[in-house]
Amino acid sequence: MKTNNIKDYIQLHLVVLIAGFTAILGALISAHSLSVVFFRTLLASGGLFIYLYLKNVSIKVSTKATWQLLATGGIIALHWFTFFYAAKISTVAICLAGFSTGSLWTSLLEPIWDKRKIRIIEVGLGLMVIVGLYLIFLFEVNHIMGLFVGIFSAFLSALFSVINSRFATKHSPQIITFYEMMGATIFTFVPVLYLFFEGSANLKIIPQGLDWLWIMILAFVCTVYAFAEGVELIRKFSAFTFNLTLNLEPVYGIILAYLIFGEKEQMTTGFYAGTFIILASVLLYPLLKKSKFSNN
């Protein structure tokens, strides 16, 4: 049985807090969302290369695996683009509310991927998510597009998570992340180049001023550090404790957004009620999954 001290728990919640901070950084950066993804993944892949080199980890994989990992990086690039875009066109809170549906998408995608039946508890919790989304739709009409984009971002996140679960049986997490960051950089390079030469003059393709600081935090703190720390922590905690704590990401993100942006992030009562229902379903899922109902 794994035993943990207070320091371990603090580090775990720090990693989750950093994850919740990414949407805020995306909203702070004035550059185009595609540029944010490109420069973040470019810097992160370089940082991960240095990390792997210092750890004496070989990055060699088969040609087939290389293409598969790079292609998955393309999905990650689209996920991050939609994630940051949702925060820019609405609010951080709306973006994270949509992103909270990730567990619902995972519960639907995993059975298809594993060729098994969808469990009753997954259907029930999925209905809870729909009720929560309905409340948000009802009270936040002005932010519907941001919510839709956030939901789509959550779908992409669930998709590459399911795909990565297969890669994890063949490759180390370090190798997977390194190649996927490279893939995300490659897939965003041409669109960013096109926008730079052919896009509107109003589009900010090259980050300016503080944008570089926020992007470096995204790359080195939210990606390289959080990744390395997460790999270490998952060895100390049970998978259940680790994943349950990760579900607090939207909660931390919404609280931080309100503290940083103030009234801009203040939502209606319906929003908070709907978000609470979604988060409740997210937190209930791992608890019910371990119960006697998990096989029904």
Task: Give the pLDDT mean for 55-81.
Answer: 92
Residue 135: which of 280, 274, 275 has the closest Cα? 274
Q: What is the pLDDT of residues 211-239, one digit of tens each?
A: 999 999 999 998 888 877 776 776 677 65
Q: What is the pLDDT, as a whole number, of residue 8?
A: 82
Task: Determine the Cα angle at 20 with ends 187 and 279, to 5°.
Answer: 110
For residues 145 and 39, is the Cβ–Cβ distance under 8 A?
no
Mention every residue, 6+ apart, whose C-beta is less than 8 A from residue 164.
72, 176
Query: Does the pTM exceed 0.85?
Result: no
Quote the CA–CA distance of 51 and 220 in Å, as a whole number.
11
For residues 26 and 90, is the Cβ–Cβ distance under 8 A?
no
Residue 129's pLDDT band (cuts 50, 70, 90): confident
pLDDT averaged over every residue in the chain: 83
Give yes or no for residue 43 having a pLDDT over 90. yes
Q: What is the pLDDT, as a whole number, of residue 213?
A: 95
Q: What is the pLDDT of residues 25-34, one digit of tens each?
A: 988 999 999 9
Quote the CA–CA distance of 290 and 283 in Å, as a whole number.
12
Q: What is the pLDDT, as a whole number, of residue 277?
A: 85
For residues 77 and 33, is the Cβ–Cβ distance under 8 A?
no
Give yes or no for residue 165 having a pLDDT over 80. no
Q: What is the pLDDT, as a whole number, of residue 242?
A: 66
For residues 90 and 137, is the Cβ–Cβ distance under 8 A?
no
Share of the chain above pLDDT 70, in %: 90
Of 198 and 89, which is predicted with more confidence? 89
Task: Give the pLDDT mean for 193-208.
Answer: 83
For residues 52 and 59, is the Cβ–Cβ distance under 8 A?
yes
Q: What is the pLDDT, as a whole number, of residue 1?
A: 47
**Domain chopping of the chain, boundaries:** 6-289
